[in-house]
């Protein structure tokens, strides 16, 4: 086995992500919510798997990420952890289990680490989560931040459009990123902000940034797996690159199966005992 192959098989840690930033190697991250998807994504060689609260939308069919519960996140995360051999598994703290209460934040983070076997947690927010980040990090739990568009605050924004286009908000975002780094975050997701601002933040930080709709200057990229696979046809923001059209592929397979059952073509003799 070559050194490159051995390096590629090594488990991804928060420390390795920092090394990747230092040597300019881009970090790949995708979401997963169940065993089967996680196994394929890990086998493909992804660096980080995010058990995102986007499960609320793509798995549970809610309009926002707000309804998903901590118990549901733990269920998804447990299944993902069971599948993963190499990637770092990061799990979102869902809405309502950390805001405004650092003790509750730590309790929720501990449940995710202990019950799901996750490797790290992610939280949305800037200065208002700094106390929680410090408390969780000091308990030995790695924390990833999330700035820019924060879907858990959608009712505050009232829109999913690009954040921090104005100077004031851009300035606050840079300050928040520095505060999160100082509080001990090992990385920060930057969602839907101007590419130039994301580049500026990435250059100002020692910890890696992972962008979604934040341009090429981030240290890594993340997409929601169901979106990049084209399973959800209705969601097509500008930042989304579709790597497959699975909606059509799956629909065609389901239609063929239905037709085969109806026409008595399935099962045939070799498919029977
Ligand atoms: O929940 C999620 O999938 C996320 C990504 C969009 C970064 O937070």
Q: Is 229 in the pocket of ligand 1 (CB under 6 A)?
A: no
Residues 21 and 121 in one domain: yes
Tell me the backbone φ, ψ of residue 235, rounded to 5 degrees.
-100, 110
Residues 157 and 192 in one domain: yes
pLDDT at residue 181 in the model: 98
Asked if 121 and 92 touch (Cβ cutoff 8 Å), the reply is yes
Residues 260 and 151 in one domain: no
Q: What is the whole-number distance in angstroms between the Cα of residue 68 and the centre of ligand 1? A: 13
pLDDT at residue 7 in the model: 58
Residues 165 and 183 in one domain: yes
List the residue whose alpha carbon is closest to atom 2 of ligand 1: 52
Owning domain of residue 255: 246-273
Residues 103 and 56 in one domain: yes
- Give me 86's structure tokens: 């190499």
pLDDT at residue 75 in the model: 98
Residues 6+ apart with CB under 8 A from 10: 16, 86
Q: What is the whole-number distance in angstroms between the Cα of residue 97 and the centre of ligand 1? A: 17
pLDDT at residue 4 in the model: 56
Nearest residue to 30 (alpha-carbon basis) of 21, 14, 41, 40? 41
Residues 6+ apart with CB under 8 A from 54: 31, 65, 151, 224
Residues 137 and 256 in one domain: no
Residues 269 and 151 in one domain: no
- Please give the helix or strand (H or E) that residue 147 lies within, else none: strand 143-148
Q: Which of 29, 46, 51, 53 to mutate to test the pocket of ligand 1 (most atoms within 8 A of CB)?
A: 53
Positions marked catalytic: 191
Q: What is the whole-number distance in angstroms between the Cα of residue 42 and the centre of ligand 1? A: 17
Asked if 226 and 36 touch (Cβ cutoff 8 Å), the reply is no
Helix (H, G, I), strand (E, B) or coil at 139: coil
Residues 236 and 253 in one domain: no
pLDDT at residue 214 in the model: 98
Q: What is the whole-number distance in angstroms between the Cα of residue 152 and the centre of ligand 1? A: 10
Give the Cα separation of 56 and 53 in Å (integer): 6
Q: Is 222 in the pocket of ligand 1 (CB under 6 A)?
A: yes
pLDDT at residue 93 in the model: 98
List the residue whose alpha carbon is closest to atom 1 of ligand 1: 52
pLDDT at residue 9 in the model: 80
Residues 15 and 148 in one domain: yes
Nearest residue to 96 (alpha-carbon basis) of 116, 66, 126, 51? 66
Give the Cα separation of 242 and 228 in Å (integer): 4
Could you give the C-alpha distances from 158 to 150, 168, 169, in angstroms and in order?
Answer: 11, 19, 16
Which CATH number belongs to the domain containing residue 92 in this structure? 3.20.20.60
Ligand 1 atom showing the smallest separation from residue 31 Cα: 3
Q: Which of 38, 58, 153, 222 to mutate to test the pocket of ligand 1 (most atoms within 8 A of CB)?
A: 222
Block means of pLDDT (10 residues each) for the chain, 273 residues, are 65 98 98 98 98 98 98 98 98 96 97 98 97 98 98 95 97 98 98 98 98 98 98 92 98 98 98 98
Q: Is 92 in the pocket of ligand 1 (CB under 6 A)?
A: yes
Nearest residue to 118 (alpha-carbon basis) of 28, 32, 185, 218? 32
pLDDT at residue 234 in the model: 85
Asked if 122 and 50 touch (Cβ cutoff 8 Å), the reply is yes
Give the Cα separation of 273 and 271 in Å (integer): 7
CA 246 to chain centroid: 20
pLDDT at residue 3 in the model: 55
Ligand 1 atom showing the smallest separation from residue 222 Cα: 7
Domains in the chain, number: 2
Residues 272 and 230 in one domain: no
pLDDT at residue 238 in the model: 96
Give the Cα separation of 125 and 146 in Å (integer): 6
List the residue whose alpha carbon is closest to atom 4 of ligand 1: 52
Q: What is the whole-number distance in angstroms between the Cα of residue 225 and the centre of ligand 1? A: 10
Residues 71 and 195 in one domain: yes
pLDDT at residue 233 in the model: 86
- Give me 42's structure tokens: 């890990």
Nearest residue to 46 (alpha-carbon basis) of 1, 92, 83? 83
Residues 203 and 263 in one domain: no
């Amino acid at each position: 086995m070559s050194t490159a192959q051995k390096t590629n098989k090594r488990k991804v840690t928060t420390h390795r992500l920092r090394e990747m930033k230092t040597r300019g190697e881009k970090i790949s991250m995708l979401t997963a919510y169940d065993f089967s998807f996680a196994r394929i994504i890990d086998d493909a060689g992804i660096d980080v798997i995010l058990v995102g609260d986007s499960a609320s939308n793509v798995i549970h069919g809610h309009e926002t990420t707000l309804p998903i519960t901590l118990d549901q996140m733990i269920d998804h995360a447990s299944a993902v952890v069971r599948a993963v051999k190499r990637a770092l598994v990061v799990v979102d703290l869902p809405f309502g289990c950390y805001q405004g209460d650092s003790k509750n934040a730590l309790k929720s983070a501990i449940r995710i680490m202990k019950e799901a076997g996750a490797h790290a947690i992610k939280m949305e927010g800037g200065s208002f989560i700094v106390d929680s980040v410090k408390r969780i990090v000091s308990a030995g739990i790695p924390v990833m931040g999330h700035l820019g568009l924060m879907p858990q605050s959608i009712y505050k924004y009232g829109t999913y459009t690009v954040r921090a286009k104005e100077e004031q908000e851009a300035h606050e975002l840079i300050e928040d990123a520095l505060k999160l780094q100082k509080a001990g975050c090992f990385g920060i997701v930057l969602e839907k902000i101007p590419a130039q601002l994301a580049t500026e933040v990435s250059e100002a930080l020692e910890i890696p940034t992972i962008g979604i709709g934040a341009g090429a200057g981030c240290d890594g990229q993340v997409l929601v797996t169901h979106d990049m696979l084209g399973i959800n046809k209705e969601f097509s923001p500008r930042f989304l690159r579709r790597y497959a059209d699975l909606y059509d592929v799956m629909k065609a397979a389901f239609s063929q199966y239905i037709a085969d059952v109806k026409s008595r073509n399935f099962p045939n003799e070799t498919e029977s005992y």
